[in-house]
Structure 1
Amino acid sequence: MAKRQQREIHKGSVKTLDNDYVRSNTDFAKSQYEKKQKVLRSRRMLVFFVFAAIVLAILANAASNQKERLAEKEEKKAEVLAELEAVKEQQAMLNLQITKLEDDEYIAKLARKEYFLSEEGEIIFTIPTEDKEQQDEKQ
């Protein structure tokens, strides 16, 4: 507050000189002020660009992580779809077997084949398989 009062007092009583030295001195002060402002502006811009670079790096990292996770999930999806197809095929085969088992003739034929059951007057002959022949030869 005291400085302001002193300036007001000096304003009316003190007159500035208008010569080359004073003008060059004020020009020098202006140029110094402008240089200082330019340095401050460049520092602000540097801080802004560093901040922007950090934000971009974080975003790029997040995008990369999401891309990796998406690739993993796509791979898992492909595996699950392949498994689903296998289960559907198995289900279709089981449904076919169920329909066959509902037929009495098929059940009789299966019982004769698997359990060596026979109808009246029928004779069952067993033919050794290659595995049994090889086992017999080894013994």
Structure 2
Amino acid sequence: MTKLASTYAAEQEEKQRRASRRRRILAIRFAFWSLLLAVVASVLVYALHLQAKTVDAKRAEKERLTKQLAELKRQKKQMKEEMKRLHDDDYIAELARKKYYLSKDGEIIFVLPEK
């Protein structure tokens, strides 16, 4: 097969080379932007995952602290009641008899083992 040395044939070959080169450049651009998009998407998904982990940890900590707060409020209420009772002389006397085995005149103390 012999090539014709015409300007038309040369123009067509040049046109095909340009089209081929343009397609190659477009393919490279597409690959570059696709890769860049994939990297950005990966970074965003990773950041979202980290934030979700952090939120879960904060929720667990909040739940723990809420339980602790409820326990502290319960203790505070008990202590306030104990303070009120400590102003009563009869309660103090009863407490002293129980804790320190003090007795009234003519009273005998029997200590029973706790179950």
Scaled to the shorter chain, the TM-score interval is 0.7 to 0.9
CA distance in 1, matches of 2:85, 2:70: 23
Question: Which residue in the other structure is 1:85 paired with?
Answer: 70
Query: Which residues in structure 2 correspond to 1:1-139 (within 5 Å)?
Result: 21-120=6-105, 122-129=106-113
Distance change in 2, residues 1:130/1:75 (3 Å): closer
User: How many matched pairs?
Assistant: 111
Q: Distance in 2 between matches of 1:127 and 1:30?
A: 112
Please give the per-residue CA displacement for 1:70-112, whole angstroms capped at 9, x wherever unaligned.
Answer: 1112111111111111111111111110011011221122223
For 1:23, the aligned partner's letter is Y
| Structure 1 Cα separation of the partners of residues 54 and 86 of structure 2 | 47
CA shift for structure 1 position 130: 5.7
Measured on the aligned residues, the alpha-carbon RMSD in Å equals 2.0
Structure 2 gap ranges (5+): 1-5
> 1:70 & 1:79 partners in 2: Cα distance?
14
Q: Percent identity?
A: 25
Relative to the length of structure 1, the TM-score reads 0.70
Which structure would you say has the larger Rg? 1
Unaligned residue ranges in structure 1 (runs of 5+): 1-20, 132-139
* Bigger relative contact order (CA 8 A; separation at least 6): 2
Aligned residue identity for 1:126:
F
